[in-house]
Amino acid sequence: MPASKPFSCLARLGQALLLAAALLPAPAGASAATLKILALGDSLTAGYGLPPDQGFVPQLQKALQAEGIDAEVLDGGVSGDTTAGGLARLDWTLQEEPRVVIVELGANDALRGLDPAAAKANLDAILTRLGQQHRTVLLAGMLAPPNLGPDYAKAFNAIYPELAEKHGVTLYPFFLDGVAANPSLIQQDGLHPNAAGVAVIVRRILPALRHVIAEAERPG
């Protein structure tokens, strides 16, 4: 059959091209094993008031690299965002397909005195959607300002442990732990961490994040 020999040659040529492509080095910076981590948050993750390389995302990226963790931290922080805003933009923010999501939302709800029940419902919806998509979550908690009174604080502060238990996600109880009560780690606005404050946050949250990364990379 005269057509068989040309077909056989083409097949061998195709196999050779596939083999050659497989042996080519990957483009610089590209790695199929790189773990994508999304920091879904507000001004605290967006690096409000800080130089571009001193915010939470770049400092966390450097800390992970220093530990030999092949990860890319994606900036999903929007200054002024509430839990409702985070929920509204969730699908768009997930377009880069992160395997791990740090959820840091609620500070602006508390600062504005918004209903804790509404904040809880928004965070519940976010965690539900992330769970349905099999993404591994680190839930970063927030505490209500004391000037809002004990009843508000009791309702608001309970949101994060209750949702972490409901959804079976890792909880980092207070994102500003070690920073909130230290004026030397806060910007002049009295709210946002300075670069040194961000470094404290990154150092303190790393153990919980390492646990979440190990969970995300566990087979099955």
Q: Which of 92, 67, 68, 61 is nearest to 78 (CA)?
A: 92
Q: Which residues are catalytic?
A: 43, 189, 192
Beta bridge partners of 72: 36
Report the alpha-carbon distance of residue 149 to residue 188 in Å, rounded: 25
**Residues whose CB falls within 8 Å of the CB of residue 212, separated by 6 or more in sequence, listed in order:** 100, 136, 137, 138, 170
The alpha carbon of residue 35 and the mean position of all alpha carbons in its chain are separated, in whole angstroms, by 11
Structure tokens at 204: 């303190």
On whether the CB atoms of residues 185 and 193 are closer than 8 A, the answer is yes
User: CB-side exposure of 68: number of CA atoms within 13 Å?
Assistant: 0
Helix (H, G, I), strand (E, B) or coil at 114: coil
On whether the CB atoms of residues 145 and 110 are closer than 8 A, the answer is yes
Structure tokens at 35: 């773990």
Structure tokens at 208: 């919980």
On whether the CB atoms of residues 45 and 77 are closer than 8 A, the answer is yes
